[in-house]
Amino acid sequence: MNNQPTIISVNKAISRGVKKTTEEIKLIPGGVEGDVHQHSGQREVSLLDEKHINDFIRISQASKHPGYGAFAENITTKNLPETLQVYDHLEIGNVLLMVTQIGKPFHEELEFPGHYVSPQKAVFCKVIRGGTIQPGAIIHHKPKIFKTLIITLSNRAYRQVYDDRSGPVIEKYISEFFDHENLKAGVTKSILPDDSGELSKKLKSSRDYDFILTTGGTGISETDITIETVRPMLDKEIPGIPEMIRWRYGLENPNAILSRSLAGTMGNTIIFCMPGSPRAVHEYMSEFLKIASHSIRMIHGLKH
């Protein structure tokens, strides 16, 4: 028996109400071309599995099938995984969608079947890569795995004069964060010397990571090269994060003010550079993770 997720109908509406079945739909940035709900924020495209339609018919004891599109879905599917999560990708031929929301608030007035079912069962996506899709197309589910790169910068740790003690602290914090958020994640660790060329090379080859968290090299000695190396590579700097941390912990320990920690983005990668001591990493990660979930939503263009 073939349980491959498949499209069984594509639907759109030129005015608000029930969507009409059509032979194909064209997905473009903003949603379905020509659909009245195009540019509906993070709910650009709606998917609903046939299973939920059949459940509604059975529970409501409807005398006939209301038709695909009657539930306000752009794409009616078969065997769409129940395990879908926000940030997962759905690949349909050349089209690529990102799941942005599962379910939505109920309408004030319940006029159509979709007003009952979609708030509970619909899957909403944004268009990452557009194209044309038709019934019969196979849907490939690509679960999102958040990737974190932890870089420890220390000549002595690199030469194995002593063990890296700060990297494992970061790993503990970030792993607990993803467990709490119920998101799939993977962590890679790297130890580099205090060498700008080595760090720059590592960053350039790591643009597919969601987080890059560094420890070490944020002081004012001659070998502290982290900030000078990272800052020119940022697309956007986020000064509020290290400023708040320096202010908070500087009240207790004035030496913390000397840290030149840095936060920002490189493409869709969030970079956070912290001091090298385990105590400082504990303090910095405790504060950073308070806004990590919000940062992920912002960088993926979701409501926040």
| pLDDT for residue 110 is more than 50 | no
Which pTM was predicted?
0.87
Tell me the pLDDT band of 106, cut-offs 50, 70 and 90.
very low
Distance CA 19, CA 72 (A): 6
pLDDT digits 0-9 by tens, 217-265 = 999 999 999 999 999 999 999 999 999 988 888 878 887 787 889 999 9
Long-range interactions of 80-86: CB distance < 8 A, separation 24+: 80/5, 80/47, 80/49, 80/123, 80/139, 81/5, 81/141, 83/143, 84/123, 84/141, 85/143, 85/144, 85/182, 85/183, 85/184, 86/302
Please tell me the predicted confidence (pLDDT) of residue 124: 93
Per-chain mean pLDDT for the chain = 90
Please tell me the predicted confidence (pLDDT) of residue 297: 94
Q: Which residue has the higher pLDDT, 54 or 4?
A: 4
Please tell me the predicted confidence (pLDDT) of residue 119: 53
Domain with CATH 2.40.33.20 in the chain: 6-142
What integer is the mean pLDDT of 181-204?
97
Domain with CATH 3.40.980.10 in the chain: 146-299
Please tell me the predicted confidence (pLDDT) of residue 239: 94
Above pLDDT 70, what percent of the chain? 94
Tell how strand 146-153 and strand 211-215 pair up: parallel
What integer is the mean pLDDT of 196-210?
97
What integer is the mean pLDDT of 265-283?
95
Per CATH, the number for 146-299 is 3.40.980.10
Q: Report domain 6-142's class.
A: mainly beta
Distance CA 154, CA 70 (A): 61
CA 35 to chain centre: 26
| pLDDT for residue 24 is more than 90 | yes
| pLDDT for residue 141 is more than 60 | yes
Lowest mean pLDDT segment, chosen from 51-55, 261-265, 267-271: 51-55
Residue tagged 């990571």 (tokens)? 209
Distance CA 256, CA 279 (A): 11
